[in-house]
Structure 1
Amino acid sequence: MIHLPNDDTSCGWYDALPDTAVNPPLAGEESADYVVLGAGFAGLAMARRLAELSPYSRILLIDAQRIGQGASGRNSGFVIDLPHKFALEHPDPAHKQKLLSLNRLAIKQLSKLVSKYNIHCQWSAVGKFQGAVGPRGEAYLDHFEHLMKDLGEPYLHVGAEKLSKVLGTRYYSRAIFTPGGYLMQPAALVRGLAQSLPDNVEILENSPIRGISKENGYWRLQGDNGVVKTPDLLLGTSIFTREFGYLKNRLLPVMTFASWTRPLSDEEMQRYGGQLNWGLTPADHAGTTLRMTADRRILVRNSYKHVPKYGASVTDAMRKRIREDHRQVFLARYPALADVPFTHTWGGVYAISRNFTNFFGQLDDRVYASACDNGVGAAWGTISGTLLADFVMGESSPALKDIRQVTGMPSLNPPEPFLGMGVKSRIHLAKWQSRSEL
């Protein structure tokens, strides 16, 4: 690999968790019936389903970092059932219904696992708000309502007065509430899913794989201090799939950033005046996501960056500017809480494609992948990882048929430096156009 995961060490979700024992790293020579690379939502689901279908096989789940430190533990804590953003614009109603069904299968699956294994991750079926600040946001909200009508899904209008009693701020002019989404603590959920895997799954942490090659009919995975050989390799590596030579020039690495406060005191909760445990996404796609967690933390997320070298593309100065921008967003909404500090600011990288298409299936001889979630990692990663294991094992189901129909090949990107210039220009333009909604 040329560029390894290089995440910051200030993810609030991860730092809020208690310390746990570290799983061993890759060392020496190992062999396994199946190897899954990447222990995010997709990789965890792959490993679990493989173990269920082949309980006597040895399955290795390998991650370059600790479980929960990567992108799956860094999102804003939404598990969204609806087709997301540009997928909701798809002209084929059947396509959108398939996406909706797949996302809801993922939510059902995760709900069962959270309940069965008593995973403490603030899992809650509270829906979500899509909020507008001014005329630009309200125009997007009107369009969202039109799309919801076409989809035949329930929603509620929430006016400014009622919304302010939930959010504790009068900053938003109105919102649309959709009931099917869930909220959670992502790092806690990822860790809980890992700790509850079947016994024939072995986890190797802090084990970056530097390269893969074919040798005598087996895939050879080279780590820093060891080697693994396997006939079947499943990649839950999202944007890093391209580092192994697959989907080259088809995936765009984008990072979004979040900041949050410490838990509010009782007195600060009185000043806040809103409710606990809600989430709001912006009607304008480039706007600000806002959360109040179940443990009294206010989170803001915005700021999109093109990061060709992932975390290594983000300087300390850039992170400081982003934190300052987040602070202005926070103060605009909660001036009465100006004395409440941020404790963490972090980024998370994900993959998008120019045609907003997810890849699912076979990449090479006995190499399989689900890659490019286009910003909807929790639900899509869970169901695509589960169904990829079914595909590998020769299973069949209506859901597997559906996912093969709604996925495809991400389109090719222009060559550098034109790609980087174009993406940065697009992000800057979107930020400028959406400045009233930030």
Structure 2
Amino acid sequence: MTKQINLPFDDSGCGWYAALAPRPDVKRLQGRQQADYAVIGAGFAGLAAARRLAERLPEARILLVDAQRAGFGASGRNSGFVIDLPHKFALEHPDPAHKQRLLRLNRAAIGQLQGLVEKHRIDCQWSHAGKYQGAVGPRGQAYLDHFERLLGELGEPFRRAGREELKAVLGTGHYSDAIFTPGCYLMQPAALVTGLARSLPPNVELLEESPIRRLERDGQGGWILHGDEGSIATPTLLLGTSIFTQEFGYLRNRLLPVMTFASWTRPLTDAELARYGGQLDWGLTPADHAGTTVRMTRDRRLIIRNTYKHVPRYGRSTSDAMREQVRARHRGAFLARFPQLADVPFSHTWGGVYAISRNFTNFFGELDQGVYATACDNGVGAAWGTISGTLLADRAIGAGSEQLRDIEAVTGMPSRNPPEPFLGIGVRSRIQLAAWSSRSEL
């Protein structure tokens, strides 16, 4: 028997979620339920897994359970990039075949999401906008030069964009240089996740605000999931729980919970938009990994994202005072880029937890008899969660494919972490050093 100790505890300040229309009444787990398959976690991975199971097995009963509302957790709190390229350290992998597999998987996820957005008319600002990777000064430009070499080795299209082009698009002269890559898509993450949840096949039942407190073997090779007001008996369990996988007793001491923060403005008025002077619907990530991500949404909101925290108790590791400090840091980054909008306030500031591993390895596969998981997205949850959840369902039912072989080739076991307090000291020191080193790019 495994007891889950820590549950998600996300703040209520997520702007993406607050911008949604009112949600239908929630359906919770109650009473004793039987399911052919149970999926825990209604983020990108869990939604994709449940959908794939339902499509493959239309007569099966599938229960998808989440401790919160779909779209309220980590999958609805990111910056809204669906990235096709191998991301950050994955792009530096020495094996070209490894990177090509990642490209194929990411692009399959994008195609899958685009098909669902179109089929179900999900209103989520879905856009094939591409992505800028921007540099402020010499440090960032050195990273861009390295990024250009890696893209050349990969054979992927890109172009350099200078200060004048960037000012025309971004409405700021803050950036000296950037690389534009065309394969990235932008979206409103909470709207996309809730749209995916609303459009699940009829043999998937979504149970929200229904935390699973413990798992128990049923004595016959299956599992019983215990909630507050009910339970689920199932022979097969899929975990789309990312960092929370360790709370069920799996991958303990192998995942690192990190929270990153964002703030956004209210929609700009016509007069403010004229002062801004740039375009709508673009996204920029920093050349220096510890720098600042910036987005302008289709509905005229500017987003600033930076600041990373090690959060061993997830949302309970944060506080209102910490978020105020983060908000002030975001304000400084905003004013450095858009001084002409100094009178435009932030309306929301929020954080989101994701999992990284010390060896930047994603886990995918069987954890226990009848238990399958995809965990540790290393900061690229939209594409990776979608394709890994889809293929996890195939893995659970024994449906082989070239894509399944690809994902099994690029995943493995996250490396073990050192014990506390050394882990916390080390992670905090690394984050502080990265922030100090990257201060010119923030």
Map of 1:205-220 to 2, 5 A cutoff? 205-217=208-220, 218-220=222-224
User: Which residue is 1:437 aligned to?
Assistant: 441
Q: Which residue of 1 aligns with 2:366?
A: 362
1:310 paired with 2:314, answer: yes
Q: Which residue of 2 aligns with 1:393?
A: 397
SS in 2 for 1:207: coil
1:222 is matched with 226
Asked if 1:193 corresponds to 2:196, the answer is yes
Deviation at 1:2, TM superposition (A): 1.0
Answering whether residue 68 of structure 2 is matched by residue 65 of structure 1, we say yes
Q: Identify which of 21, 24, 39 aligns with 2:42.
A: 39
CA contact (8 A) 1:23 1:203 kept: no
> For residues 340 and 281 of structure 2, what CA distance do their matches in structure 1 show?
20
Shift of 1:216: 2.3
Instruction: Indicate if the aligned counterparts of 1:35 and 1:61 stay in contact, CA closer than 8 A.
Output: yes
| Residue in structure 2 matched with residue 299 of structure 1 by the alignment | 303
**Deviation for aligned residue 1:24:** 1.0
Matched, 1:183 2:186: yes
Any conservation in 2 of the 1:22–1:66 contact (CA below 8 Å)? no
Deviation at 1:144, TM superposition (A): 0.2
**1:22 Cα deviation (Å)?**
2.5
**d(CA) in 2 for partners of 1:305, 1:2:** 21
SS at match of 1:344: strand
Q: Distance in 2 between matches of 1:275 and 1:85?
A: 27
Name stretches of at least 5 consecutive residues in structure 2 with no aligned partner: none
Structure 1, 23-32 or 397-406: larger mean CA deviation: 23-32
| 2:206 is equivalent to residue 203 of structure 1 | yes
Question: For residues 165 and 201 of structure 2, what CA distance do their matches in structure 1 show?
Answer: 46
1:195 corresponds to which letter in structure 2? R
- Alpha-carbon distance in structure 2 between the residues aligned to 1:22 and 1:135: 52
**Gaps in structure 1 of 5+ consecutive residues:** none
Aligned to 1:156, which of 154, 159, 176?
Answer: 159
Distance 1:54 1:13 in 2: 33
Task: Kindly indicate whether the alpha-carbon contact (under 8 Å) linking 1:262 and 1:342 is maintained by their aligned counterparts in 2.
Answer: yes
- Do the aligned partners of 1:28 and 1:225 also contact (CA within 8 Å) in 2? yes
Aligned match of 1:425: 429
Contact 1:263 1:296 in 2 (8 A): yes
1:21-67 CA deviation, whole Å, 9 max, x = no partner? 13311111111000000000000000000000110010000000011
- CA distance in structure 2 between the aligned counterparts of 1:200 and 1:28, rounded to whole angstroms: 19
Distance 2:309 2:25 in 1: 32
Write out the 4+ residue segments of structure 1 that deviate beyond 3 Å after TM superposition.
none
Q: Helix, strand or coil: the match of 1:385?
A: helix
Q: 1:393 Cα deviation (Å)?
A: 1.1
The total of aligned residue pairs comes to 438
- Match status 1:267 vs 2:271: yes
Deviation, 1:428, is: 0.2
Which residue does 2:59 correspond to in 1? 56
Q: Are residues 1:103 and 2:100 paired?
A: no
Check if 1:135 corresponds to 2:138: yes
User: What amino acid sits opposite 2:219 in the alignment?
Assistant: N
Q: Which of 170, 188, 194 is the equivalent residue of 1:167? A: 170
Tell me the equivalent position of 1:94.
97
Could you tell me which amino acid in structure 2 is paired with residue 127 of structure 1?
Answer: G
Provide the rounded CA distance (Å) in 1 between the counterparts of 2:126 and 2:408. 29
Aligned to 1:320: 324
Equivalent in the alignment of 1:376: 380
Q: Which amino acid is the alignment partner of residue 427 of structure 1?
A: I
Task: Give the CA deviation at 1:226.
Answer: 1.0
Q: RMSD in angstroms over aligned alpha carbons?
A: 0.5
C-alpha distance in 1 between matches for 2:375 and 2:334: 33
SS of the aligned residue for 2:308 comes to strand
Percent identity, aligned pairs only?
71
Q: CA–CA distance in 2 between the matches of 1:30 and 1:397?
A: 32
Corresponding residue for 1:340?
A: 344
Give TM-score, length-normalised by structure 2.
Answer: 0.99
**TM-score, normalised by the number of residues in structure 1:** 1.00
User: For residue 30 of structure 2, what is the aligned residue in structure 1?
Assistant: 27
